[in-house]
Amino acid sequence: MSRFADLFMGMLGAAPKKPEAVSPAVQRIMILKYEDKDRYIKEKLHARAHHEVSHKWRNRRWAVLVAVNLLFLLSFWLDIQLLEGALTASRFAGFHLIDLNSALQVMLAHKHIIVNLFIGTFTVFLLWVLLGGRTFCSWVCPYHLVSELTEKLHLKLVEKKIVTDHEFHRGTRTVFWVLFGLLAFGTGYTVFETLSPTGILSRALIYGPGLALGWVFLLLLFEVFWSRRAWCRYICPIGLTYGVVGSISPLQVSYHVEHCFHEGDCRKVCLVPHVLDVTVKGRATDETMGLGPDCTRCGLCIDVCPTDALRFEVKGLSRLL
């Protein structure tokens, strides 16, 4: 229970803690790594020298993300009524699908539970319980893809020392989650839905561009020249809402300490690097550990890991391909 509580508090913004104790199995693994240090270092260098980043999971993720958003577009333009609406609220083959955070904002604005809205969220809730809540962020959200591409420009500018990456406290996202909820309750208006680049891009793709795209452009400029992936990391309440759902999901990225060389490449590519704190030497408490509810299941860490220490797995079942 303590492990779950630490992961949940980490999602809210608490700093990762060093473990007070580790399992006997992990102790044996770390002792073996220390006693045979020369072989360990040799294998580490060999693995890194011969590993090529495959981009397998990134390519699969991009394909799914593009396909889902194009399905909205094609359903509208071809009038086939397969997937109607947008990501915030839609209907798939007659089943109502409503984004959990959007539904929460609407009910706070109306100050009561709307039965039809609640029914529409139930299907979405079950879907993301199975897949992992924050899977939505990296596998469906169109802003995630756009921001992921502009992030490459930001990193190049940082590398050339043209700009500096500014980090904020991760708890800022929790503050914004509360703030947007209070604004909805106090004004009777879903303020966040007006500002959400997820909804803006989804609607622009389906129904055509509007002035709201200017706001998305400003966000991207801020991320390129000031703070890496700032919206997703420090502001967007959607990730926090789905992270709560992801805390009970059977699908996870799992970490196997025995295969890890602790080189840190995974943390460099991760959108939420605090979930990979267990990969730091001495931080893992068990042989195999799930990365926790704030993990977006993007697969970038799996693609970059040279030793297969990180894997997609379903709790109690074998790994995914």
At residue 188, the pLDDT reads: 94
CA 142, CA 194: separation in Å to the nearest integer?
Answer: 16
Q: How far is CA 261 from CA 29, 41, 70, 309, in A?
A: 12, 8, 40, 9
**Residue 195 structure tokens:** 């500002």
At residue 228, the pLDDT reads: 94
Query: CB count, 10 Å around CB of 138?
Result: 26
Residues 287/293/294/300 CA torsion (nearest 10 deg): 50
At residue 227, the pLDDT reads: 96
- pLDDT by residue, tens only, the chain of 321 residues: 577 788 888 888 988 888 888 888 888 888 777 777 677 667 666 666 667 778 999 999 999 999 999 999 999 988 887 888 889 888 887 778 889 999 999 999 998 877 777 777 888 899 899 888 899 999 999 999 999 999 999 999 999 999 999 999 999 999 999 999 999 999 999 999 999 999 999 999 999 999 999 999 999 999 999 999 999 999 999 999 999 888 889 999 999 998 888 888 899 999 899 999 999 988 999 999 999 889 999 999 999 998 889 999 987 665 555
At residue 31, the pLDDT reads: 78
In eight-state DSSP terms, residue 319 is B
At residue 320, the pLDDT reads: 55
CA 24, CA 16: separation in Å to the nearest integer?
Answer: 22
At residue 50, the pLDDT reads: 64
At residue 254, the pLDDT reads: 94
Per-domain residue ranges for the chain?
Answer: 2-50+250-314, 57-244
CA 105, CA 40: separation in Å to the nearest integer?
Answer: 52
Task: Enumerate residues 6+ apart whose C-beta is below 8 A from 215.
Answer: 195, 197, 200
* Contact in structure between 62 and 199 (CB atoms under 8 Å): no
CA 166, CA 225: separation in Å to the nearest integer?
Answer: 9
Task: Enumerate residues 6+ apart whose C-beta is below 8 A from 315.
Answer: 250, 251, 252, 290
At residue 198, the pLDDT reads: 96
Q: How far is CA 89 from CA 66, 92, 181, 305, in A?
A: 18, 10, 18, 37
Q: What is the 3-state secondary structure of 274-309?
A: HHHHHHCCCCCCCCEEECCCCCCCCCHHHHHCCCCC
